[in-house]
């Protein structure tokens, strides 16, 4: 099968090159001044105790919730879209489908045979990491991801590694990294604290080879979402939530890590791991209370938005947001240009309606760019369904190429080519303990 590498010329395996300074990953350019920058940011926060926080916030929407969204940053992937499209158009069916997948992978510290087999059979473009992947500590995870990239060198692009690193109880590392406070605690300190936390988290994640953070939560904790989200939300006020989430996303971006805004457009009190929630919001309330925080956070130039496993009858009375053409079109109409990522199609909220493979097909056909699927049997089902649908026309090739091109463009924007350079990876891991030490006390 024809393969197209994303690098015009790649070093011979076993002969790592020393890249010029401009090609180093963004975290490397940030590491030295990071502690000073974070300290200044927190000092600014302390000097302006009322700025950006949730003090005095109520569950009612802010009167500013419907103000025009702030000016968006230039699309970070724009310079790479033509190149990405050209590559996507050359891919065979197996690689084209693979670039649309974010899969769970076995392994802790070293790459097991099952993970190597998964790379061969599913040919995934991205992986999602869980707590068991990080059980041996951050340095072991960094080595694991290096082995993963080396084993995946035959794929048309490096693997995009993603992890949940929100803060509070939602962070996969038990130790060895800077612990992030709950989003609600950061929100009480204001935007400067949220951005500083994003910078610290981003610099540490990217040093390990993780280029996508499945964070922040953008929804407010009010509006019937409090029991599900709790302290994962920055604020009970929609306007504050969007501003604070955008600050966290900006901090991640400054360290070379893409943010994933979640869960668009909102949630309900029911945890989607337990069943399919319904968000009963008329279009006016939807825009002012639920979509407004995301619109504000889009200005930070996030890499992706994660769709919520939720029914939204005011927009689509038939399909959940995950595979609703109307909902995804509404997201694009709001100006979002990044990756549209599903939540795990192996979750109960999705499986109640469709098998994992059919859910993945419906989502990509509706406009999603990446499908998350965590379980091994479900992964095989999704791969088989998407390949068959591409072959028989149920999944139009143009839609698959469009999604793949968007995924590749963001890989270029995040400088993932550096993840295939062993010398760069080793240098990052060698300096990682000092990087973490430099962050001590900065989020207290």
Place of tokens 């030295």: 32
* Cβ 410 vs Cβ 258: under 8 Å: yes
Residues 6+ apart with CB under 8 A from 53: 187, 188, 189, 190, 240
* Closest C-alpha to 151, from 162, 142, 159, 141: 159
Is residue 273 flagged as an active site residue? yes
- Distance, CA of 197 to CA of 202 (rounded, Å): 8
Name the catalytic one among 95, 237, 296, 343. 343
Q: What are phi and psi of 364, to 5 degrees?
A: -65, -40
Based on DSSP, count helices (H) and strands (E) in the chain, helices before strands. Answer: 17, 10
- Distance, CA of 173 to CA of 214 (rounded, Å): 14
Radius of gyration of the chain (CA): 20
- Distance, CA of 295 to CA of 335 (rounded, Å): 8
- Distance, CA of 348 to CA of 272 (rounded, Å): 7
* Cβ 203 vs Cβ 180: under 8 Å: no
The residues assigned a catalytic role are: 273, 343
């Amino acid at each position: 099968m024809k393969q197209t590498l994303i690098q015009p010329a790649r070093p011979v395996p076993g002969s790592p090159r020393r890249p010029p300074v401009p090609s180093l990953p963004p975290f490397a350019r940030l590491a030295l001044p990071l502690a000073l920058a974070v300290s200044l940011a927190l000092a600014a926060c302390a000097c302006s105790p009322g700025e950006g926080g949730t003090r005095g916030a109520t569950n009612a929407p802010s009167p500013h919730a419907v103000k025009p969204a702030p000016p968006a940053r230039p699309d970070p992937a724009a310079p790479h879209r033509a190149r990405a499209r050209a590559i996507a158009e050359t891919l065979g069916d197996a690689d084209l489908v693979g670039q649309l997948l974010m899969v769970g992978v076995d392994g802790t510290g070293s790459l097991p045979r099952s993970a190597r087999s998964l790379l061969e059979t599913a040919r995934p473009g991205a992986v999602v990491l869980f707590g068991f992947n990080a059980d041996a500590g951050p340095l072991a995870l960094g080595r694991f991801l290096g082995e993963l990239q080396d084993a995946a060198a035959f794929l048309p692009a490096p693997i995009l590694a993603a992890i949940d690193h929100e803060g509070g109880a939602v962070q996969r590392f038990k130790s060895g990294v800077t612990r992030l406070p709950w989003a609600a605690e950061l929100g009480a300190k204001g935007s400067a604290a949220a951005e500083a936390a994003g910078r610290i988290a981003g610099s540490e994640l990217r040093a390990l080879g993780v280029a996508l953070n499945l964070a922040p939560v953008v929804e407010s904790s009010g509006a019937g979402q409090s029991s599900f989200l709790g302290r994962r939300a920055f604020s009970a006020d929609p306007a504050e939530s969007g501003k604070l989430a955008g600050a966290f996303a900006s901090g991640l971006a400054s360290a070379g890590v893409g943010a994933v805004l979640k869960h668009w457009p909102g949630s309900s009190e029911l945890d989607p791991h337990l069943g399919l929630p319904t968000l009963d919001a008329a279009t006016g309330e939807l825009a002012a209370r639920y979509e407004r925080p995301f619109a504000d956070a889009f200005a930070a130039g996030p890499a992706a938005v994660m769709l919520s496993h939720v029914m939204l009858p005011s927009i689509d009375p038939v399909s959940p947001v995950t595979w609703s053409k109307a909902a995804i079109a509404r997201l694009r109409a709001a100006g979002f240009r990044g990756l549209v990522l599903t939540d795990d199609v192996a979750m109960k909220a999705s499986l109640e309606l469709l098998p994992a493979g059919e859910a993945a097909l419906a989502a990509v056909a509706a406009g999603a760019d990446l499908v998350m699927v965590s379980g091994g049997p479900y992964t095989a089902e999704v791969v088989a369904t998407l390949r068959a649908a591409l072959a028989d026309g149920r999944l139009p090739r143009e839609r698959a190429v469009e999604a793949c091109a968007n995924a590749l463009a963001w890989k270029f924007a995040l400088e993932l080519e550096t993840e295939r350079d062993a010398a760069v990876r080793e240098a990052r891991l060698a300096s990682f303990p000092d990087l973490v030490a430099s962050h001590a006390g900065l989020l207290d």
